[in-house]
Amino acid sequence: MKRVITYGTFDLFHIGHLNILKRARELGDYLVVGVSSDEFNAVKGKKCAYPYGHRSRIVEAIRFVDKVIPEHSWEQKEADIRENAIDIFVMGDDWEGKFDNLRSLCEVVYLPRTPDISTTEIKNEIASGSKPKD
């Protein structure tokens, strides 16, 4: 069984989130998703519309996801890989090269992002009163 892990905040869940989870799951048989905690998002300077409990339950309900874990820090990834017997670590290509240090533990894959969609873009459109793109 190939086990895959990915991480994200998953605030204002959108098609880009769904696409990366689906593509990550297609790389293996079991998908673990680390959802950033509210405290970790504060460290990263992110303010979420929804609390961790809501975001993790949404991600948990996606059929491609087998297990959700809280992400509390950058440093926990090595322990998560070991504890969950991970074969493939997946992130969006906007993180290209940032997690290459994990290659000694598992395969590292950077997947292309879904074009023209991001949570930041959605939040900006809402704030400006614009209609989100189809």
Of 44, 42, 8, 36, residue with least CA distance to 23: 8
3-state secondary structure of 125: helix
Catalytic residue among 2, 22, 46, 98: 46
Residue type, 130: S
Active-site residue, 133 included: no
Q: 10 Å Cβ neighbour count for 31?
A: 24
Active-site residue, 123 included: no
Catalytic residue among 2, 44, 47, 98: 44
Phi-psi region of 10 (alpha: psi -120 to 50; beta: other; left: phi over 0): left
Active site positions, annotated: 44, 46
